[in-house]
Amino acid sequence: MTKKGKIFVAGHKGLVGSALVKNLKSKGYSNLITRTRKELDLSDNKAVGLFFETEKPEWVFLAAAKVGGIVANNKYRADFLYENLMIQSNVIHHSYLCGVKKLMFLGSTCIYPKKCPQPMKEDYLLTDILEYTNEPYAIAKIAGIKLCESYNLQYGTNFISVMPTNLYGPNDNFDLEKSHVLPALIRKMYLGKALENDNWSAVRKDLKRLPLGGIHEFSTPTDLKNILKDYGIFMSPDNKVRIEIWGSGKPMREFIWSEDMADACTFIMEKVDFSDTYPKKAAQIRNTHINIGTGKDISIRNLALKIKNVIGFEGELFFNPNKPDGTMKKLTDPSKLNRMGWIHSVELDEGIVKIHNWYKSLN
């Protein structure tokens, strides 16, 4: 990439996209093109085509996607499959038509099989069945990988796919129905701590900014308690707070700070081409995507305990085994990226403090 070249960051408002924009600006890339969803619906093929013809971006980061946690993925299966297929197909196809020099497609490690060998290497893609709860989203992301590979092989494009592990950081989604586990735990325990301190002002501010149910600023404490109860935050008459966490707490998960992920993406766009992503004498070219991760994981139970300690929440954590666990272990093998010259810098303990401080600053 060149410092003044036109770079389109699709999905710049989200966790991934906002981290990319921050990283690119910090490295001197000044000609960034962004569009909100209202300004450009990426699922609209005609609108995407007109945008590319008018703006003519030279480099593209495809970070736009419909995303969510295990609840949303399982509940809105058709939406996750359809919308993601449309977004990525339109952007990738029009990047080809308009001669984009390089595109990066951002996926997710949910592409790997439910019973994938650990740690997950790029070569394990499509070797077994997927986890049921997020199968539609995973299929969409696999299609994106294959679309990039196929355009490269047929048309000589330079489209690269990266698969970040679970992300967390500034501008994460803290919606308690649709968020991933780490931001959900941060928000639940933040609210739990406020309840312990009888700090209804903090509760009202939080729920006003990110509404749950029928909350409004004049809701009574009883109404607020009932709303929070629906989302797994319980308060007893003696002010003891209990927080419900889905599943047994045993699943192992890997997390990477979103700004580390963004740095990896910029590094790859600057230094890696499609031809660098597969063995030179390969009879068949596949699995050219690149994992972005730390190679370290933690159980959901221990993650919850770390967050509890950072926030200072003193109540009870209740792990509900009647709710789904999802895949029991998802650990990436980032050695392909490490060999290319990049490694993460923010460890989980530091990251939890950083995201808690960021979330507090919003209230």
* pLDDT tens-digit readout, 304-318: 999 999 999 999 999
Return the pLDDT at 345: 97
Kindly state whether residue 317 falls inside one of the protein's structural domains.
no
Kindly state whether residue 232 falls inside one of the protein's structural domains.
no
Span between the terminal Cα atoms of the chain, in Å = 38
Kindly state whether residue 217 falls inside one of the protein's structural domains.
no
Q: Is 82 a catalytic residue?
A: no
- At 298 the three-state DSSP class reads strand
Count of Cβ atoms closer than 10 Å to residue 74 Cβ:
18
Return the pLDDT at 354: 97
For the record, the structure tokens of 310 come out as 């950072």
Q: What pTM does this model have?
A: 0.92
Q: CB neighbours of 87 closer than 8 A, spacing ≥ 6? A: 10, 42, 43, 62, 64, 65, 66
The CATH number covering residue 68 comes to 3.40.50.720
Q: CB neighbours of 177 closer than 8 A, spacing ≥ 6? A: 71, 72, 231
**Which pLDDT tens digit goes with each residue over 150-160?**
999 999 999 99
Catalytic residue among 29, 96, 112, 137: 137
Return the pLDDT at 71: 76
Task: Domain of residue 26: give its range.
Answer: 7-171+254-295+331-346
Kindly state whether residue 357 falls inside one of the protein's structural domains.
no
Question: Are 254 and 166 in contact, with CB atoms under 8 Å apart?
Answer: yes
Kindly state whether residue 142 falls inside one of the protein's structural domains.
yes
Residue stretches of the chain with pLDDT short of 50: none
Return the pLDDT at 202: 93
**Which pLDDT tens digit goes with each residue over 191-245?**
999 999 999 999 999 998 998 877 766 788 888 999 999 999 999 888 899 999 9
H or E element: which one contains 229? helix 221-230
State the DSSP code for 130.
Answer: P
Question: Are 144 and 42 in contact, with CB atoms under 8 Å apart?
Answer: no
Kindly state whether residue 193 falls inside one of the protein's structural domains.
no
H or E element: which one contains 244? strand 241-246
Q: Tokens 């995507």 sit at which residue?
A: 289
In the chain, how many domains are there?
1
Kindly state whether residue 300 falls inside one of the protein's structural domains.
no
Please state, in angstroms and rounded to a whole number, the distance separating the CA atoms of residues 10 and 223. Answer: 40
Kindly state whether residue 362 falls inside one of the protein's structural domains.
no
